[in-house]
């Protein structure tokens, strides 16, 4: 086992921040090239016209998931040392719903808004101010919502653990699901384009 490098003490916190900046540049590059600096392109996902959000997201998830899986099977990376955000099921379901409504209302998410603002999109700057306001509002209402926010705590939980199924089987299922989703997305885009041409 040699990875994750940082966890094996190959460098310290300050080098970690330099790496964070470099990884961010890579992240920004691919978000920009995917077209995610445009709210119209992002929002088109929710009108079935351009399903790039779905395609990019799930290709990225599958790529990283397969990489993590094979590197850990080969003994190169210790999967248990990768930080896993704990599951709080109810607040995460409700948070996801609020976040999703915010996506189609605002047209960005926090990361894509940074790329959009950096390329001159004024609505992305206003959106970013909104994100600050939302995080501030959460802090102010925290005494009221803290009980709910801490409810249904399940700790660090993966789908294979929750379902009592082998990790590799879930990886395989996600790949199949993604391939089915890509096939459906291509069909849907063609169908919507044909409908528009016919109308």
Partner 1 sequence: MTTKPAQPYWNPYLAGVGLGLVLLTSFVVMGRGLGASGAFASVLTTGLHAVVPGHVANTAPFAEYLGNGTTSPLKDWLVFEILGVIVGGFIFGSLAHRISKTVEKGPNITTARRFGFAFLGGALMGVGAKFARGCTSGQALTGGALLNAGSWAFMIMVFVGAYAFAYLMRRQWQ
Using CB under 8 A as the criterion, what x/- string covers residues 130-169 for binding partner 1?
xxxxxxxxxxx-x--xx--x----x--xxxxxx----x--
Question: What is the maximal distance between C-alpha atoms in the chain?
Answer: 62
Between CA 176 and CA 168 the distance in angstroms is 12
* C-alpha closest to that of 110 among 23, 22, 27, 26: 27
Position 176 contacts partner 1 (CB under 8 A): no
- Residue 19 or 176: which CB sits closer to partner 1? 19
Among 1, 73, 101, 193, the residue binding partner 1 under the rule CB under 8 A is 101
The total of other beta-carbon atoms located within 10 Å of residue 72's CB is 17
Among 1, 9, 57, 179, the residue binding partner 1 under the rule CB under 8 A is 57
Between CA 168 and CA 180 the distance in angstroms is 18
Q: Which of residues 58-77 bind partner 1 (CB under 8 A)?
A: 58-65, 67-68, 71, 77
Least distance between partner 1 and beta carbon 194 (Å): 18
Among 73, 119, 166, 193, the residue binding partner 1 under the rule CB under 8 A is 119
Binding residue count for partner 1, defined by CB under 8 A: 125
* C-alpha closest to that of 108 among 50, 172, 36: 36
């Amino acid at each position: 086992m040699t990875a994750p490098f940082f966890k094996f003490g190959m460098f310290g916190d300050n080098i970690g921040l330099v790496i964070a900046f470099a990884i961010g540049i890579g992240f920004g590059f691919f978000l920009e090239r995917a077209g995610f600096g445009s709210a119209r392109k992002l929002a088109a996902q929710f009108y079935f016209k351009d399903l790039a959000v779905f395609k990019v997201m799930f290709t990225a998830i599958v790529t990283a998931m397969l990489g993590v899986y094979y590197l850990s099977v080969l003994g190169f990376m210790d999967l248990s040392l990768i930080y896993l955000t704990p599951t709080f099921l109810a607040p995460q379901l409700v948070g996801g719903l609020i976040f999703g409504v915010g996506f189609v209302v605002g047209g960005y998410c926090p990361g894509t808004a940074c790329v959009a603002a950096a390329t001159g999109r004024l609505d992305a700057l206003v959106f970013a101010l909104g994100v600050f306001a939302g995080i501030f509002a959460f802090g102010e209402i925290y005494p009221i919502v803290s009980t709910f926010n801490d409810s249904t705590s399940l700790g660090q939980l993966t789908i294979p653990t929750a379902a009592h199924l082998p990790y590799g089987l879930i990886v395989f299922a996600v790949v199949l699901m993604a391939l089915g989703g890509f096939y459906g997305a291509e069909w849907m885009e063609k169908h919507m384009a044909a409908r528009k041409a016919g109308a």
